[in-house]
Structure 1
Amino acid sequence: MEHGFLGYRSTFMLDFVVSALILIVPLLLFSLFTVKIKRNFALHKKLQILLGAVLLVAVSAFEIDVQIMHGGWQNIVNQREIPLTPEQFGYVKKVLYVHLVFAITTPIFWATTLFLALKRIPNPPAPCAHSNLHKKLGWISTIDITLTSLTGLYWYYVAFVASA
């Protein structure tokens, strides 16, 4: 297996998604800044649609790469230069399962938030009857994607960087 572009024995798509996880939270915070502070609802809408679309494409490409092209995450992790001990591998697996809780719920919350916003918020976007629910769903989505990012980055660290 070749090295990912971050220099570890992962895959290009795994390194791409890890890079996206680093960028998504600051971009999301900028989107929140545009709506909360600048009150630029139109830019917030565009940013959220863009972030959602980019994440959908990136995660879809990532899943195809990991599952179809490489036969699962275990095959990728087992290609490390220094193999993991059974205990380390078990820990990596546990970290992945925690990450998956957030990684699976994030697109559900984000899609729900986006779908309801597109359906219920006027165009051009402005505060409306749906705003309170939108804020709650938005914060749930924000916390969830942040936890997805943190756990995903930690998984990458324990799977590829630690003891490399």
Structure 2
Amino acid sequence: MEHGFLGYRSTFMLDFVVSALLLIVPLLLFSLYAVKIKHNFALHKKLQILLGAVLLVAVAAFEVDVQIMHGGWQNIVKQREVPLTPEQFDYVRNVLYVHLLFAVSTPFFWATTLILALKRIPNPPVPCAHSSLHKKLGWISTIDITLTSLTGLYWYYVALVAGG
């Protein structure tokens, strides 16, 4: 297996998604700053649609790469320069399961938040009757994507970096 662009025995798409996970939380925080502090609802809307679309495409390409092109995450991890012990491999799998709890729920929360906002918030966006529910869904989505990012970065570290 080739080295990913981050320098580990990974894939381009795995390294791309890890890089996206590093960028998503600061961009999300900027989007929240735009809406909460600057009251720039239009910028917030554009950023959320852009982030959602980029993540959807990136994750779809990532899944094709990992599952179809490389036969699953196990095959990628088994190509490490320093192999994992069976106990380490089990730990990596368990970390992945925790990550997947958040990673699987994130698109559902984000899509629900975004679709309801597009249907119920006026264009151009301004506070409205849906704003209260939108804020709740938005915070759930924000927490979920943050936990997706943190657990995904940790998985990459324990699976491909640590002890290597």
TM-score range for the pair, normalised by the shorter chain length: over 0.9
Matched residue, 1:133 = 133
* CA distance in structure 1 between the aligned counterparts of 2:158 and 2:58, rounded to whole angstroms: 22
**Unaligned runs of at least 5 residues, structure 2:** none
CA distance in 2, matches of 1:65, 1:119: 34
Offset from partner CA, 1:141-160 (integer Å, 9 cap, x none): 00000000000000000000
What is the aligned partner in structure 1 of residue 57 from structure 2?
57
The offset of 1:93, in angstroms, is: 0.1
User: Sequence identity, in percent?
Assistant: 87
TM-fit CA distance, 1:11: 0.4
1:45-124 mapped onto 2 (5 Å cutoff): 45-124=45-124
What is the aligned partner in structure 2 of residue 25 from structure 1? 25
Instruction: Give the counterpart letter for 2:120 in structure 1.
Output: R
Deviation readout 1:92-129 (Å, 9 max, x if unpaired): 00000000000000000000000000000000000000
Q: What is the Cα deviation at residue 27 of structure 1?
A: 0.0
CA deviation vs aligned residue, 1:28-63 (integer Å, no higher than 9, x gap): 000000000000000000000000000000000000
Q: CA RMSD in A?
A: 0.3
TM-score by length of 1: 1.00
SS of 1:14 mapped into structure 2: helix
Mapped to 1, the partners of 2:144 and 2:68 lie a distance apart of 27
Deviating beyond 4 angstroms after TM superposition, the runs of 4 or more aligned structure 1 residues are: none
How many residues align? The count is 164
CA distance, structure 1, for counterparts of residue 107 and residue 125 of structure 2:
22
Does residue 10 of the first structure (1) align with residue 13 of the second (2)? no
Measured in 2, the distance between the counterparts of 1:49 and 1:86 equals: 42
